[in-house]
A and B are shown apart, each in its own frame.
Chain A
Amino acid sequence: MIRVKKNLPLVGIWIVLLAMPFWLNAVGGYTELGSRVIVLGLAAMALNFLLGFTGVLSFGHAAYFGLGAYGAAMTMKYLAGSTPMSILVGLTVGTVAAAIIGALIVKLRGVYFAMVTIAFGQIFFFIAFRWNAVTGGDDGLTGWHRLPINLGFTRLDILGNDKAFYYMVLAVFAVSVGVMALLLRSPFGRTLLAIRENERRARFLGIPVERHLWLSFVISCFFVSVAGTLYALLNNFTDPRALRWDLSGNFVIMAVLGGMRSFWGPLVGAAIFVILQDYVSSHTENWMSFVGLFFVLVVLFFPRGVLGIFRRGARS
């Protein structure tokens, strides 16, 4: 009985997600919006693996998101017309970059770590922006689109059918989130929490802190690149904005808004952010001011996030 009660919210989340294409249209949304929530939610949850559960502030995750997006898009355009292949290439590119950069920065802490991640994030933006011939420069990479997936027994038409694509995204999301949850429950995940709570103590206990931070960074970036590949496939397009610093900031605000200390918080934050952005940018040209104001208000009044408030209410 206790088990059932404990898992009730989880069942609820999955029912809501699985049924999304069916109720979203009824409340004035559209299926693509749902896919975007899932993709950006995955990115925010992946960031939160590092931010909330390892206690390291990265402000440059858009770089790996964008590398995933460009990796997928360029595979589709130049190499092979295969959706699974493009995802595979995209996440490999993003993860390899993260492994190299991560090794350079794991010695830094706190604000300095954040600053270096911001600066590194810009490298790939400039490459995508400048290398016109290959990346399409500022105009982005067009002239390709996602392709139906051949499963052997059946053909998944993710190009023509919005819902089919949504469920493909949801499937990738489910696997990714499941792996992250398992990792966090494992001794490795518990060690990350220990480092978050008291790094010095963890070091005295003989935990190789740098190696754990590096691994956590790479895992987090791996899943962010997965989200990036899905984002490119969702839009059938990618441009340098998928790599830029403002997107990194958006990921962080999604995590904070939903609640950094909860596993599902960033998904809630992403949903609120995406819907708000969709609404505001269709009503005013000054959406930047709204987003900025939103940041300020969240920081001043909702620092624990939506789920943080719920949790505090439940405890008291």
Chain B
Amino acid sequence: MTQLLLFNLFNGLIVGAFYALMALGLSLILNLSGVINFAHGGFLAIGAYLAYTLIPFLGFWGALIVAPVLTAFIGLLVERFLIRRLYGRDPLYSLLLTFGLAYIFEDGTRYIWGAQSLPYPIPGWLASPLSREFFFLTGYRLFMVLLVAIAVGGLFFILNRTRLGMRIRAGTLDLEMVSALGVNVRVLRNLNFGLGIYLAGLAGVLAAGMLGLQPTIGTSLIMPSFVAIIVGGLGSLPGTLLGGLLIGVASGMATVFLPSATEAVMYAMMGLVLLVRPQGLLGEEGRIL
């Protein structure tokens, strides 16, 4: 029983790390530009499939580094040519646009790489379990948690310690003032979007190694990411991180006791949070009104 519990706890933590990685990217874009990026899951799938295509040429490690960067580059282009036109309009329009993009991305990946699920090769020494007793503790899973931790650490470093990050945070609070102080807001939003998409691409590469590749890989991860943002607190990145891990662990534990309630638990948590604390666990009260 303890083993089963530990297994699902750890599983939940990994899944939660994915949700958090996705949700952090979504949150970045939402906070600075007011855009709900429905295509985030599509970008995740693109990252995963790009890595799959690159592995024969660059190897596992090369693909791990290059694929998210390429995905981020696609993100920069999408922001530059499509989403930028919609800033200042009703958020409805950017939501519909990214919604359409999500369709196109999913269908596009299916068209290019096929609808059947593809195996994603990972190095042998990472795939084997670390000990017999904790069979579920493969090197790859530990590696993934480690990598997510590094990525999240890197993100908070950028946000707190670099000029770009400070401008992003300032822009989240008052974009007009940041613009008045001489910062090129267009470039800032563009880079911020790219940063968010980079995280999606990275999540995609990591998810591919664990779940295998399917065109719907992104769609299945995006809904929990929304829940993570709402639970964690709107406008708060640490909140988003917390929310992602929480719902991951909660649904992992639900798998032990009531497998059919895996998803329901997440939404129950969301309902509870909205009832007790509408701004989310770490959200600031003023931001939702």
A residues apposed to B, CB below 8 Å: 51, 57, 59, 104-105, 107-112, 114-116, 118-120, 122-123, 126-127, 130-131, 245-246, 249, 252-253, 256, 286, 288-289, 291-296, 298-300, 303
**Contact indicator B100/A295 (Cβ below 8 Å):** yes
**Contact indicator B91/A123 (Cβ below 8 Å):** no
Task: For B1, list chain A residues within 8 Å (CB).
Answer: none
Contacts known (A104-B275, A112-B234, A122-B267); A249 close to B96, Cβ less than 8 A: yes
Name which residue of chain A comes closest to B261, CB basis. Answer: A130
Query: Nearest-CB distance from B206 to chain A (Å)?
Result: 23
Chain A to chain B: the 5 pairs with minimum beta-carbon distance, closest first: A295-B100, A292-B103, A292-B104, A288-B107, A126-B263
B140 interface residue per 8 A CB criterion: no
Task: For A298, list chain B residues within 8 Å (CB).
Answer: 96
**Contact indicator A116/B230 (Cβ below 8 Å):** yes
Residue B101 contacts which of A116, A127, A292 (CB distance < 8 angstroms)? A292
Residue A288 contacts which of B34, B92, B106, B229 (CB distance < 8 angstroms)? B106
Of the A-B pairs whose beta carbons lie under 8 Å apart in the complex, a sample of 20, sorted by A's number, is A104-B274, A109-B289, A111-B36, A114-B91, A115-B230, A118-B226, A119-B223, A122-B267, A123-B264, A123-B267, A246-B103, A256-B92, A256-B96, A286-B107, A289-B107, A289-B111, A296-B97, A299-B86, A300-B82, A303-B89
Task: For B102, list chain A residues within 8 Å (CB).
Answer: 292
Q: Do most interface residues of chain B lie in helix, strand or loop, or is the interface mixed?
A: helix
**Contact indicator B288/A299 (Cβ below 8 Å):** no
Contact-residue size bin, chain B (C-beta under 8 Å from the other chain) = 35 or more
How far is it, in angstroms, between the C-alpha of A109 and the C-alpha of B285 when the chains are bound?
12
A/B pair count, beta carbons within 8 Å: 121
Task: For B223, list chain A residues within 8 Å (CB).
Answer: 118-119, 122, 245
Task: For B30, list chain A residues within 8 Å (CB).
Answer: 111, 115
**Contact indicator B274/A296 (Cβ below 8 Å):** no
Name which residue of chain A comes closest to B270, CB basis. Answer: A119
Name which residue of chain B comes closest to A124, CB basis. Answer: B267
Task: For A108, list chain B residues within 8 Å (CB).
Answer: 278, 288
Contacts known (A111-B36, A111-B91); A295 close to B278, Cβ less than 8 A: no
Residue A299 contacts which of B97, B107, B230, B263 (CB distance < 8 angstroms)? B97
How far is it, in angstroms, between the C-alpha of A102 and the C-alpha of B86 when the chains are bound?
28
How far is it, in angstroms, between the C-alpha of A123 and the C-alpha of B271 when the chains are bound?
10
Residue B264 contacts which of A112, A126, A246, A252 (CB distance < 8 angstroms)? A126
How far is it, in angstroms, between the C-alpha of A31 and the C-alpha of B30 when the chains are bound?
44
How far is it, in angstroms, between the C-alpha of A286 and the C-alpha of B260 when the chains are bound?
33
B residues apposed to A, CB below 8 Å: 30, 34-36, 38, 82, 85-86, 89-93, 95-97, 99-104, 106-108, 111, 223, 226-227, 229-230, 234, 260, 263-264, 267, 270-271, 274-275, 278, 288-289
Query: Nearest-CB distance from A54 to chain B (Å)?
Result: 13
How far is it, in angstroms, between the C-alpha of A252 and the C-alpha of B97 when the chains are bound?
12
How far is it, in angstroms, between the C-alpha of A252 and the C-alpha of B260 when the chains are bound?
31
How far is it, in angstroms, between the C-alpha of A59 and the C-alpha of B90 when the chains are bound?
14
Task: For B82, list chain A residues within 8 Å (CB).
Answer: 296, 300
Name which residue of chain A comes closest to B228, CB basis. Answer: A119
Residue A115 contacts which of B89, B229, B271 (CB distance < 8 angstroms)? B229
Task: For A131, list chain B residues within 8 Å (CB).
Answer: 260
Task: For A105, list chain B residues within 8 Å (CB).
Answer: 274
Name which residue of chain A comes closest to B85, CB basis. Answer: A300
Query: Nearest-CB distance from A12 to chain B (Å)?
Result: 29
Given contacts A59-B95, A105-B274, 14 further A-B contacts (CB under 8 A): A110-B91, A111-B91, A115-B30, A115-B229, A116-B230, A119-B230, A120-B271, A123-B267, A249-B99, A256-B92, A256-B93, A288-B106, A291-B100, A296-B100
How far is it, in angstroms, between the C-alpha of A289 and the C-alpha of B93 when the chains are bound?
18
Query: Nearest-CB distance from A255 to chain B (Å)?
Result: 9
Query: Nearest-CB distance from B43 to chain A (Å)?
Result: 14
Task: For A291, list chain B residues within 8 Å (CB).
Answer: 100, 103
